[in-house]
Amino acid sequence: ALLKQEYPQKVISNKNNNNHLYFSNSNKQYTGKNIHLVGRLCDTLDVFPTSKLSDLSYANIGNYILFYNVGAYSLVFNMPFHCQTKPPVLMKTCEGDIKLIRKGTSYKDLYEEEGGLIP
């Protein structure tokens, strides 16, 4: 991903989505304008403004966001010194299907990967 570039994004559903646990009535009036996606990224400058081609106005907590044209951006975030769980990685096939190519990890996975309770 390059700075100051537009990367179209699309909301895709998460079949295991638990939005009802987090979504409150106060959020339902939000219009979705001026959305920026931020989070556990590689650099403090990594902020993704929405592209003119994106519509995230109906996104909810727990949805997956598909980024187009970013290559393997999320894969550089796999170094254990970040002490963060790894996100799931999805791939869109030439036929338009979305496939899970790497499951997300839990804190238990991270703990065990780093040695856990070494005997």
Looking at residue 43, its pLDDT comes to 59
- What is the model's pTM? 0.52
Do residues 61 and 19 lie in contact, with contact meaning Cβ atoms separated by under 8 Å? yes
Residue 45 has pLDDT above 80, yes or no: no
Residue 99 has pLDDT above 80, yes or no: yes
Looking at residue 9, its pLDDT comes to 80
User: In this prediction, what percent of the chain has a pLDDT beyond 90?
Assistant: 1
**What does the alpha-carbon distance between residue 47 and residue 34 come to, in Å, rounded to a whole number?**
13
Domain map (residue ranges) of the chain = 1-71, 72-119
Looking at residue 95, its pLDDT comes to 93
Mean pLDDT of the chain: 70
Between 109 and 30, residue with greater pLDDT: 109
Looking at residue 63, its pLDDT comes to 79
Residue 31 has pLDDT above 60, yes or no: no
Looking at residue 58, its pLDDT comes to 76
Token pair 């990685």: residue: 89
- 86-95 pLDDT, tens digit per residue, is 778 888 888 9
Q: Counting beta carbons within 10 angstroms of the beta carbon of residue 59, is it exposed (0 to 12), middle (13 to 18) or buried (19 or more)?
A: buried
